[in-house]
Chain A
Amino acid sequence: DTAVSQTPKYLVTQMGNDKSIKCEQNLGHDTMYWYKQDSKKFLKIMFSYNNKELIINETVPNRFSPKSPDKAHLNLHINSLELGDSAVYFCASSQDLREGLNEQFFGPGTRLTVL
């Protein structure tokens, strides 16, 4: 069974559209994250949630809105998509917020292409 899953794997859409990426983990973890892999291949943190509570909110346009209906899910909704949003988005989870000492488990990534 996949520990951290994301859907869809690929998303191609037009500028201006609104889209969502879903993430689910079956590891029983408390903490979930969204990362963006930028054009230089760096993984950059966008958000983290711990037990459905927002913990990290990096300098991300407010067109990006995470939603955590329960601690096993962290979805990413993006409004008014722009060309620069094209990237690979990774979801991850860790057991808890134990001071950054817990390894993170990553999903397979969602490749978003905005045309």
Chain B
Amino acid sequence: ILNVEQSPQSLHVQEGDSTNFTCSFPSSNFYALHWYRWETAKSPEALFVMTLNGDEKKKGRISATLNTKEGYSYLYIKGSQPEDSATYLCALGFDAGGTSYGKLTFGQGTILTVHP
């Protein structure tokens, strides 16, 4: 069974704080890691797709790093704003013999609440 773990489960921060959370996954058979942002009453939206060990991606105030050897990815939000409040999901595509067939295994998500 492939487990993708996210921590913490929930997080409350004040506006302006920087924050980060973790996605842990089995390091064997890694293929790709996705991060999604899921606002209440909306659909999950992709933030990043990462494949290379040491990869770092950035979109505005949000960035992510990837360590495939030890099996974790961090998502950072700099200067959190109330509109950043959402559930952040990571999802692992694993290598099923040279391809992942697009199959993603999702973590449970980290619920971020940013208070004004």
* Nearest-Cβ distance from residue B52 to partner chain A, whole angstroms: 11
CA A55 to CA B99, docked complex, whole Å: 12
| A100, B103: Cβ atoms closer than 8 Å | yes
Please state if B89 and A43 are interface contacts (CB–CB under 8 Å). Answer: yes
Complex partner residue of B43 from A48, A56, A106, CB under 8 angstroms: A106
Q: Which of A71-114 contact B (CB under 8 A)?
A: 90, 94, 97, 99-109
Task: Check A48–B101 contact: CB distance below 8 A.
Answer: yes
CB–CB B32/A103 < 8 A: no
Pairs A–B under 8 Å by Cβ, sample size 24: A33-B102, A41-B108, A43-B44, A44-B106, A50-B102, A55-B101, A56-B103, A90-B44, A94-B102, A97-B101, A99-B31, A99-B93, A99-B102, A100-B93, A100-B101, A100-B103, A100-B104, A103-B34, A103-B49, A104-B104, A105-B46, A106-B43, A106-B44, A106-B45
How many residues in B have their beta carbons less than 8 Å from beta carbons of A?
24
Chain B residue nearest to A6 in the complex (CB): B43
Among A40, A56, A105, the residue within 8 A (CB) of B108 is A40
Binary A-proximity of B77-110 (CB < 8 A = 1, otherwise 0): 0000000000001010100000111111111110
CB–CB A101/B43 < 8 A: no
Select the residue from B34, B104, B105 with max chain A CB neighbours within 10 A: B104
- A107, B101: Cβ atoms closer than 8 Å: no
B101 touches A56 (CB 8 A): yes
Separation of A104 and B46 alpha carbons in the complex (Å): 7
Could you tell me the distance in whole angstroms from the C-beta of A18 to the nearest C-beta in chain B?
26
- Measured between beta carbons, the chain B residues less than 8 angstroms from A99 are 31-32, 93, 99-100, 102
Asked if residues B102 and A55 are in contact (CB atoms below 8 Å), the reply is: yes
Can you name the residue of chain B whose Cβ is closest to the Cβ of A56? Answer: B103
Chain A residue at minimum C-beta to C-beta distance from B107: A42
- Contact of B42 (CB < 8 Å), options: A40, A44, A101, A108: A108
